[in-house]
Amino acid sequence: MKHTINKNSLFIPTFPAIDKQQVARRFARAVTTYSEEATIQRQIAEKMLRLLQEYTAPPYSEIYEFGCGTGIYSRLLLKHLQPKKLWLNDLCPEMETCYNDLLSCDKVHFIAGDAETLPIPGSPSIITSCSTLQWFVSPEHFFQKCAANLCAGGIFAFSTFGERNMEELRTLTGNGLHYRTRYELEDTLYSHFQLLHSEEEILTLSFTNPTDVLRHLRSTGVNGAISGNRLWTKNNLTDFCKQYKQRYGSGSSVSLTYHPIYIIAKLKMKI
């Protein structure tokens, strides 16, 4: 059946089960374009590093980063925190090629696989990640695993995205991830962690036209979360671009919203 966008109504977003294999394939295809295109993710990583420096203090023993991707955040951690050991994990085995320069160093180790099911290596004093947790099936269970594997007084620090993330695409296509609110994340953390810092912000990128938005998503590997299994035809792409410009255009550009959430938490002392 032909799929078109009704200009008189909005889609109600649906949240299909996350296909981790599909996620891995899409990010693997974006391995050569991600670092250049991911300007918002780079900005988020730089802010996460500043927050870690503000709420923690050296020396840093072991750091475990899950969802390391192409290494934007990883390199900041290694350069500025200088841990004795840096464990890097990513769902995509192909990401290991991004770390050829770092893996020659005995302190850096790469582990491919699903962080939700893999055991956490070593005895990390910090477990951290940028722009990854939204892909998890059950962040709540992962929080428990982190609490069980952090060393005493360890830090769990992450950024993820909130419910307004990519709201333009979610409104027009009806597809998207199920984003938890900052308060939902906080409530889940309280049983194991003391919150040191929690905030959220709205960041906006501008593009010349909606097709550039789609190209940006493909280049960063997140297009599957928005388009689902849709096959873009000439007609529905034309409809999509028209509605995008009408709703989210300003002058000669269109917008794309990012909604990062930042949380720094400390493992509670066991009584």
Q: Across residues 222-240, what is the average pLDDT?
A: 75
How high does pLDDT run on average in the chain? Answer: 90
What is the per-residue pLDDT across 15-43, written as a single tens digit (0 to 9) for each? 456 788 888 888 888 988 988 899 999 99
The confidence score (pLDDT) of residue 1 equals: 34
What is the per-residue pLDDT across 132-181, written as a single tens digit (0 to 9) for each? 999 999 999 999 999 999 999 999 999 999 999 999 999 998 888 889 99
**What is the pTM assigned to this prediction?**
0.90
Q: Which of 207, 208, 185, 183 is nearest to 258 (CA)?
A: 207
Q: Which of 93, 114, 131, 94 is nearest to 18 (CA)?
A: 114
What is the per-residue pLDDT across 111-138, written as a single tens digit (0 to 9) for each? 999 999 999 999 999 999 999 999 999 9
Give the confidence band of 271 by pLDDT, cuts at 50, 70, 90: low
The confidence score (pLDDT) of residue 133 equals: 96
The label of the residue with tokens 């939902």 reads: 184
Q: Which of 268, 269, 263, 270 is nearest to 55 (CA)?
A: 263
Q: Across residues 67-72, what is the average pLDDT?
A: 96
Give the confidence band of 229 by pLDDT, cuts at 50, 70, 90: low
Query: Which amino acid is residue 102, in one-letter code?
Result: L
Give the confidence band of 224 by pLDDT, cuts at 50, 70, 90: low
The confidence score (pLDDT) of residue 7 equals: 42
Counted residue by residue, the chain has a size of 271
Asked whether 99 and 78 are in contact (CB, 8 A), the reply is no
Radius of gyration of the chain (CA): 19
Whether 4 shows a pLDDT value over 50: the answer reads no
Cα 25 from Cα 35, distance rounded (Å): 17
CA dihedral of residues 136, 265, 46, 40 (deg, nearest 10) = 40
* Percent of the chain residues topping a pLDDT of 70: 90
The confidence score (pLDDT) of residue 13 equals: 43
The confidence score (pLDDT) of residue 175 equals: 84
Number of Cβ atoms within 10 Å of the Cβ of 164: 15
The confidence score (pLDDT) of residue 17 equals: 66
The confidence score (pLDDT) of residue 231 equals: 67
Query: Which amino acid is residue 138, in one-letter code?
Result: S
Domains and CATH numbers, the chain: 20-165+177-205+258-267 (3.40.50.150)
